[in-house]
Structure 1
């Protein structure tokens, strides 16, 4: 192949090898950089983790600032919910590192998207939003409240915004099919309206549990109980310790879409951690929770049981052989390179949520949990060798030092999530609540609440009839099995 043709003189032909040499040198350097440049992560060193997280977060914000919709704070191109999840991850980053350089962007985006009724349901996008879209902004708001993220004068408190989401979603609890549950989508013309899914219901369960612990308002705990019981009565939270992604109204929620996603498990585990903490409170409010039910993430009482083995098998699948059973992977899409932009964020929540949960449910297995997250963080850093600067991250961390060829805001967010999780043990405080230093004020009337009631109507005794003892056993065994998986199920 001739890379340079001779034209009018021998001199022009003789330049060919020189130009060819430079071209090869540039190309060789580029490919070498992909293997040499990466983000070094020492999971035992806080400074190393903070430096790595800063690099990842800065690149993520570069994507955010370069988006076509940058004139609208908090709005991403062709998606809305990811703004809430990114801000949630950045709030965690701020809390763990003390780096406040992104705080203005977080505040601006969060307040801009809060909607006219302070419930993260802005009229510009409400016609196509799903329940899961809205709840992620609520989870971002309660994260801000729990971590004492700065509030602006004249704006609603973070906790009141989270309560606004709760008050907006509870009226959508659908009794027309399946005995309850949230639909995936809000409007009948949307694809997915006839589905009820794990992340919408699990997200509201988690939000309710966190509001219960922060505010000590028993209504939130009652709804957390109700959502858990309903989920457990459907394939979304099965006795076999599998979380289905979806179920349909047409089948009265007896069928199940079984794509396995990390964030579905994480949202129920996170909420269970908060409810475990809530029921231990020495206060009358905690008595409304069934006394025979204790949400016990990371305990070992069910160790060795068949149920534990079943649970560990399902959860271990997210740590596949390709990563030496230590590196997390969203196995439904990553091995076949078919993850869409939403799915590329899912590991963010599994790692950061469970990492933060270790602060409120400390046990002797925390080190084992972090062991897998540490290995994942190191591998994630090695994947950050893409782009001209060699610092853009891929999503397939199991490929380790071989960059997978992808890059984007979502990839950066996932890496930041696992780095956040590994930084958690270096802090001794938080999450805060109204009784232990939380500064954000509760407003149970938050959001649009025309009846003026404090939250939704109280749950009746009939509402409490459901899974009963079976649910209690389920909680104890399932969350205990998580520990067995992390400690003995390797």
Structure 2
């Protein structure tokens, strides 16, 4: 967390003022780190930051809610859902992780827009934002994933019904082709959602794959197993190029020309984290996914030999530092290395009936449909810790870890 200052005196926990959603990506990576390694060094900062940005139990904090997209809010909901599923203890003085995920879900299904294109979630929340006239895959796929995970955790079919509704609508548009398994990036309301922006980003595939996996685990319906297999095959075929050996992930649209922006650098980390969970909740995919995570983790670790302090690069396939550095690179590498440890887990993420004890609040967020009125205060005490320190320590252990994994299976 060299780039994170929310745990310092006078700063705002969980906040990255110009890129608020990235706080959720940081905390998801630290949650996975704890889940797979048992090292709780960063747990207090994760809990503090995720509670401080919670708004009115819906991740619509007043400091940022006036310019958020549905996808921004959704990622925080997925971080909270992850915390519930991995038994990260609820805060003693804040909202439960499950309630926060429910709050995000409730505010987003309230925004479901049947007045245009027969349904769907807009990219942006507010009419004055650029992109408000678009419906995109990550917003709809993210809500689909969240609904599917809530269904499995709570055994409440209201959530699975909504997940099915979101999936079916998306598959009726150019966003998702459930025969070729192409996932487009966006579609325009102005032409009735008949066209597509077909940029190929890994996280669009990953979020639909993750949701389908949870729906299959919950329902055991062939529809969802077909979706898991189709999306997994397409994801691996597209984003694990044979030109790099077939087991190393690449964000193919921006990496070859070295033009990835901060958001795009994070996509691989999100997807590898999701692939780890897919392998655990749909065991038939495990043997396919594990070598992809291990190959990517080994290459990613090798990219962390920059600036004499284990700085990580954007591209993993060169297996050396590529000259890039930033928080996003460190988060992505942490995700893939942590997720490659799925062979240390004997069971899938929990539900309320298999050990999960995060408190439910089905009405969370329903009193705040336009953003929280709570004020975000500054922290008055705290120690500086470092995400770069996390990655340095983690990469330092990697030689032994990868040898143990490859030998021990």
TM-score normalised per structure 2: 0.86
1:204 equivalent to 2:123? Answer: no
Structure 1 residue 388: Cα displacement: 3.3
The 1-side partners of 2:233 and 2:103 are apart by 36
Distance 1:85 1:159, change over 3 A: same
RMSD: 2.1
1:71 equivalent to 2:6? Answer: no
Q: Which residue of 1 aligns with 2:252?
A: 331
Runs of 4+ in 1 over 2 A off after TM superposition: 65-70, 291-299, 310-315, 448-451
Runs of 5+ unmatched residues, structure 1 = 1-60, 281-290, 300-307, 452-490
1:411 equivalent to 2:332? Answer: no
Q: 1:294-338: per-residue Cα shift (whole Å, max 9, x none)?
A: 445665xxxxxxxx6x98466412122441222110111111111
1:25-36 equivalences in 2 (<5 Å): none
Which among 38, 44, 62 is matched to residue 104 of structure 1? Answer: 44
Q: Which residue of 2 aligns with 1:380?
A: 300
**Which structure has the greater CA radius of gyration?**
1
Structure 1 residue 68: Cα displacement: 10
Q: Does the 8 Å CA contact 2:140/2:170 hold for their aligned counterparts?
A: yes
1:258 equivalent to 2:179? Answer: no
The 2-side partners of 1:156 and 1:67 are apart by 20
The 1-side partners of 2:187 and 2:90 are apart by 39
Which among 420, 423, 445 is matched to residue 341 of structure 2? Answer: 423
The 1-side partners of 2:49 and 2:25 are apart by 12
TM-score normalised per structure 1: 0.72
1:323-402 equivalences in 2 (<5 Å): 323-363=244-284, 365-389=285-309, 391-401=310-320
Q: Which residue of 2 aligns with 1:120?
A: 59
Structure 1 residue 292: Cα displacement: 6.6
Q: Which residue of 1 aligns with 2:378?
A: none
Structure 1 residue 387: Cα displacement: 1.8
Q: Which residue of 1 aligns with 2:382?
A: none
Q: Does the 8 Å CA contact 2:6/2:15 hold for their aligned counterparts?
A: no
1:183 equivalent to 2:122? Answer: yes
Which among 263, 275, 280 is matched to residue 215 of structure 2? Answer: 275
The answer to which structure, 1 or 2, has the higher relative contact order (CA under 8 A, 6+ apart) is 2
Distance 1:311 1:434, change over 3 A: closer
Which among 30, 50, 53 is matched to residue 90 of structure 1? Answer: 30
Q: Which residue of 2 aligns with 1:192?
A: 131
Structure 1 residue 372: Cα displacement: 1.7
Structure 1 residue 367: Cα displacement: 2.1
Distance 1:422 1:211, change over 3 A: same
SS of aligned partner of 1:247: strand
The 2-side partners of 1:202 and 1:124 are apart by 26
Distance 1:362 1:327, change over 3 A: same
Structure 1 residue 67: Cα displacement: 9.9
1:292-331 equivalences in 2 (<5 Å): 293-296=223-226, 312=233, 315-331=236-252
Runs of 5+ unmatched residues, structure 2 = 370-409
